[in-house]
Chain A
Amino acid sequence: DIQMTQSPSSLSASVGDRVTITCRASQGIISWLAWYQQKPDKAPKSLIYAASSLQSGVPSRFSGSGSGRDFTLTISSLQPEDFATYYCQQYYSDPLTFGGGTKVEIK
């Protein structure tokens, strides 16, 4: 199974900050990576697929990059509605696996 490791596991940031979350795969997954946002007691929401492609309707302040084993989710200017937990997920091979999540909290 491919292990996905996210860092940090949590972070505190202020509105307007630039936030970066990293995700590392235990083996190369080309660009078969997605990012999801989950708010408390809500279903996850798809943000990015193919490492850098934004889902329809997702604000442009979200961006993804990377290939191979190392990937990044960046929020260019954190907004109040962005405080949530973010997960990466590989779909290079099954079983599909998720990172442990990064909780973005208000500083």
Chain B
Amino acid sequence: EVQLEESGGGLVQPGRSLRLSCTASGFTFGDYAMSWVRQAPGKGLEWVGFIRSKSSGGTTEHAASVKGRFTISRDDPKGIAYLQMNSLKTEDTAVYFCTRTVDTAMVLDYWGQGTLVTVSS
């Protein structure tokens, strides 16, 4: 059974940093891209970025709203994807979901339960 579990969320002050983790199980982690999607309170879904599998180059893409501040990485032997968030702003407050992503088509086929990040002074 595919399982994704996010961790690392919490309350953080504007301008500070936070790192989210997504621990995967139930599938060959290295065979898939991994994406992050966020949802502000009461709002819709916003793609944050993804990291391709190593076999597809392992490259990353990030949304314009987070480019230069957020970085996605992965540790294939541990089965973990990371979202490093720097220079956090109040508008980054959201539930952050990690998703398994089919490399060849960028379909977000399995989602974690999400972790809440609150940016507030």
Contacts and interface: CB of A to CB of B under 8 A. Distances in A.
B91 interface: no
Contacts of B110: 46
B25 interface: no
Contacts of A44: 37, 45, 97, 108, 111
A57 to B, nearest CB: 11
Nearest to B108: A46
B47 interface: yes
Of A49, A87, A100, A101, the most chain B CB neighbours within 10 A belong to A49
Given A49-B102, A89-B47, 15 more contacts: A43-B97, A43-B113, A45-B111, A46-B107, A49-B109, A91-B106, A91-B107, A94-B50, A94-B61, A95-B47, A98-B44, A98-B46, A98-B47, A100-B44, A101-B45
Interface residues of A, number: 23
A100 B35 CA distance: 19
Given A43-B97, A43-B113, A95-B61, A87 B107 contact: no
